[in-house]
Amino acid sequence: MKKLIIICLVFVVSCISGQEGPLYAKKEQTIKVVSKVGQIEIAITGKALNDGYEGDEIYVLNTRTEKVVKAKLVSPGKAEVVKSQ
């Protein structure tokens, strides 16, 4: 019975927090950041500034230019730059 209660609590907490599934980026992790314009795709290496799950928008430090960009996590260790409107 205790195991069932613990499993239910974990499920409820994950639903409330909106964080389900595997962690796609962990704070300080090196990730690939992609920017697409038409058929052209440019990729950089960056450092995640916060944890994130699939579909989360996180901030990433471009380790070469020291600039911070906002990117959406699309797979483990990979994100796409969020275009500003």
All domains in the chain, ordered by first residue: 21-81 (2.30.30.760)
The pLDDT assigned to 11 comes to: 47
Within 12-77, strands assigned E span 23-25, 30-37, 40-48, 52-53, 57-62, 68-75
Please compute the mean of the pLDDT values over residues 61-73 and round it to a whole number.
96
Inter-residue contact 77 to 24 (CB < 8 Å): yes
The pLDDT assigned to 26 comes to: 97
The end-to-end CA distance of the chain, in Å, is 51
- Burial class from Cβ neighbours inside 10 Å (0-12, 13-18, 19+) for residue 71 reads buried
Amino acid at 73: L
The pLDDT assigned to 49 comes to: 98
**Above 50 in pLDDT, residue 7?**
no
More confident residue, 44 or 13: 44
